[in-house]
Amino acid sequence: MGVIKILESQVANKIAAGEVVQRPASAVKELLENSIDSQADEIILSFYSGGNKMFQVSDNGCGMDIDDLNLCVMRHATSKIKTSQDLNNIKTMGFRGEALASISEISVMEIRTKSKGHDIGNRVLFSSGKKQKSEPFNAQQGTAIRVENIFFNLPARKKFLKSEKIESKHIIEEFKRVAIINNEINFVCYENGKEIFKLQKAKLLNRILEINKLKINNNFVPVNEETTIVKIFGYIAKPELAKKTRGEQYLFVNKRFFKSNYLSHAIKSAFKGLIDEKKIPTFYINFEINPSQIDVNIHPNKTEIKFSDEKSIYSILRSAVKKSLAQYNLIPSIDFNLDQAFFNELDRKPNKISVPNIKIDKNYNPFKKDSQNTSSNLLNNLLLDSSGYVNSDSKNDLFQIENFMISIEFDSLKIFSIRKMHKRVLYENYLNLTTENNSINLLFPVDLFFSESEISTIEEIKSSINKFGFKYVLKEKMLSVLAIPSNCDESKIRDYFEDFIQSKTNNTSLETDFKIEIAKKLCNRNAYRPKTKLSSIEMEALYASFHKCKNQKFCPSGKKIWESLTTKLITKLIKP
């Protein structure tokens, strides 16, 4: 007898539900998209405890009659498509007929709805995919879907949910992705009973400003381009607003949010020369394209889109962004009418040309031993030829070649990476600091503007940041920095906080104390930059400080700091 068996429908449905609904935010996304497809002009989202306890989406759309209500939770029951040909021309947000069936399988779900033209609505209750109650209900036109105790019957999935804060951030992000581009719809969002968004119908730029709680609109530049292939419209932020962290990059196709590293690269390449290579521009771009030229049926989350002519769209997008940057004078140019220094040089009378004086030492003999021609001076000459500069005035026979410090030992040469040495010294100093002896107050507070999610991330690691001597207060979306560590640069304050956000966002460890990560970021930001020329005093100080470190082998990122060239190794490489 064979061992392969067909799974029971209940088991199969739970497996399928796990693919569609990974977390509460996944279910919220599906419900919001259903409300948009219902032609609603007002949508309300409410959730508690990061969606773990309850979330509800209600709208004033077309609603459902009793027949549709009984069918809507059946797997692959949908009003969006009828034949396989319809998959080539999808114009709605949903189309698979999986969302409600999947959500009802792993939660307690209640649907209240009334369709246009009916005097009374209906209410139905599901638990684990089974109908528990169905009755007439005095509902308003539209649909309200309430979900409680998600994953209550899948404990393995439930235990992998993150903290309430993190799950709330995911729900809010899904809300933003839907609300930003559907600016012709009123949206309201409540978290734990508190209203956090109330968005009225508005132009796209106003919706972007409102959802990010910004008041200044001159930081965004419009992007508009229409071709036979695609119509592109949206907004990009000015280069100075580029950040090291992702989170404010939004791409939409026919008002559907999607992710594409390829098309995101097109936008970033248009900013080349205007922003640091490690920074990412902020953008909100929508592509209007014939539905037959894209395939949205690739991933269960529908965030991956396949274009029939992606290369052409890449080129059009890149050109459109570059054109917008140029039109709004964001690309630097030379204005000779303003640069009078150039013409002043031409107006000057040329100096008289004179023969240079050349001094010749007639007593110089290269074969004659000279008391000044010591081994150190010979080494200086050799190093100078190879690097362009050398410093050898140190008492400890220390020399610098570009990024390296060379120490002459009894039977070897030690070659140190100056930057890695400095990182190790700073790192151990940072870990031993206390707030009391390290913080200095700024003469004038430095105000930094961040998104809500970035502010939330900073607040999560506030205690760790404070340990280093940073002090700040919150004013809506503004971070006002009052004090910084004594060995930090005031001009780099924004860089410090962006580093903290990036590190926390990318961190997957379970450590609650973020002190080590912050120390790594600070030493990386404050260590000597490549090709920094050190004075003899600076070399001596760095050399002495480094030899007080507990770990003298590796820098904080785990890379080797120095290498030794022994006489044996030198003899092996270059035979006498």
Domain 9-202: CATH class, spelled out: alpha beta
CA dihedral 553, 559, 563, 569 (to 10 degrees): 120
d(CA 406, CA 88) in angstroms, rounded, equals 67
């709330």: which residue's tokens?
168
Question: Which top CATH class is 394-576?
Answer: alpha beta
What is the percent of the chain with per-residue pLDDT over 70, rounded to a whole number?
81
What is the average pLDDT across 122-140? 92
pLDDT in tens, 136-170: 999 899 999 999 999 998 888 888 888 898 899 99
- Quick one: angle between helices 164-181 and 204-211, nearest 10? 170
Fold topology of 218-327: Ribosomal Protein S5; domain 2 (3.30.230)
Q: Does this chain's domain 218-327 share its CATH topology with 394-576?
A: no
Q: How many residues does this entry show for the chain?
A: 576
Q: DSSP E strands: which ranges in 60-95?
A: none
Arithmetic mean of pLDDT over the chain: 83
DSSP 8-state secondary structure symbol assigned to residue 258: E
pLDDT, tens only, 480-527: 999 998 888 888 999 899 888 888 877 644 444 578 888 888 999 999
Residue 31 has pLDDT above 60, yes or no: yes
Do residues 99 and 30 lie in contact, with contact meaning Cβ atoms separated by under 8 Å? yes
Whether the pLDDT of residue 334 is over 50: the answer is: no
Cα–Cα distances in angstroms (integers) from residue 340 to residues 84, 127, 335, 349, in the given order: 69, 78, 10, 16
Over 60: is that where the pLDDT of 379 sits? no
pLDDT per residue over 561-571, tens digit each?
999 888 888 88
Mean of the pLDDT values across residues 286-298? 88
Residue spans of beta strands (DSSP E) within 463-553: 471-475, 478-485
Written as six digits, the tokens of 433 are: 């600091």
pLDDT, average across residues 95-118: 88
Yes or no: say if 174 and 45 are a contact pair by the CB < 8 Å rule. Answer: no
User: What's the pLDDT score for residue 472?
Assistant: 92
SS3 string of 281-305? CCEEEEEECCHHHEECCCCCCCCCC
- pTM exceeding the 0.75 threshold for the entire prediction: no
Q: How confident is the model at residue 96 (pLDDT cuts 50, 70, 90)?
A: low
Q: What is the pLDDT of residue 412?
A: 82
Contact 485, 438 (CB under 8 A): yes
| Residue position matching structure tokens 């200095």 | 440
Question: Strand, coil or helix: what is 504?
Answer: helix
Cβ-in-10-Å burial (0-12, 13-18, 19+) of 506 comes to exposed
* 564 SS3 class: strand
State which of 196-205, 207-216, 360-369, 452-461 shows the largest mean pLDDT: 196-205
Domain boundaries, the chain: 9-202, 218-327, 394-576
DSSP H or E run through 343: helix 340-347
